[in-house]
């Protein structure tokens, strides 16, 4: 029996990636409050599917920018170094870029 190579749609890929990004955040060692800040961005920007009124480029760039804003906000308000937060940010950012490249090929 021959397996068919069925390519996933960008929406299906997004659903998988969104679950991965949430897992990365939830598995981090940060407090629930900090995790919630990151999760809010991921869920708002990616959990609702691909945007209709925003280009893919703008969608990805703005989403990554929002995550970085959260890093700076938490570093200012909490007793956590920016470097620690940047590890989580960079993991998310790198995979978001990989996703972006995947859906644009």
Question: Could you read off the pLDDT of 69-87 as tens digits, one per residue?
Answer: 999 999 999 989 999 999 9
2-14 per-position pLDDT tens digit: 556 688 898 999 9
Per-residue pLDDT, 60: 96
Answer yes or no: are the C-beta atoms of 40 and 50 closer than 8 Å: no
Tokens matching residue 86 = 């940047």
pTM passes above 0.85? yes
Look over the chain and give the mean of its residue pLDDT values, rounded to a whole number: 94
Q: What is the mean pLDDT of residues 65-69?
A: 98
Residue 92 in contact with residue 71, Cβ under 8 Å? no
First-to-last C-alpha distance (Å) of the chain: 29
Q: What percent of the chain has pLDDT over 90?
A: 85
Computed from CA positions of residues 12, 13, 14, 19, in that sequence, does the dihedral angle turn out positive or negative? positive
pLDDT number for residue 6: 82
Determine the 3-state secondary structure of 41 from DSSP. Answer: helix
């Amino acid at each position: 029996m021959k397996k068919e190579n069925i390519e996933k749609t960008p929406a299906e890929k997004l659903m998988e990636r969104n679950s991965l990004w949430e897992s990365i955040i939830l598995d981090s060692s940060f407090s629930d409050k900090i995790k919630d800040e990151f999760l809010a961005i991921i869920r708002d920007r990616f959990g609702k599917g691909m945007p209709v009124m925003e280009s893919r480029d703008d969608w990805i760039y703005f989403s990554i920018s929002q995550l970085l804003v959260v890093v700076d906000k938490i570093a200012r308000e909490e007793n956590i170094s920016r470097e620690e937060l940047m590890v989580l940010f960079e993991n998310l950012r790198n995979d978001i870029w990989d996703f972006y490249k995947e859906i644009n090929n």
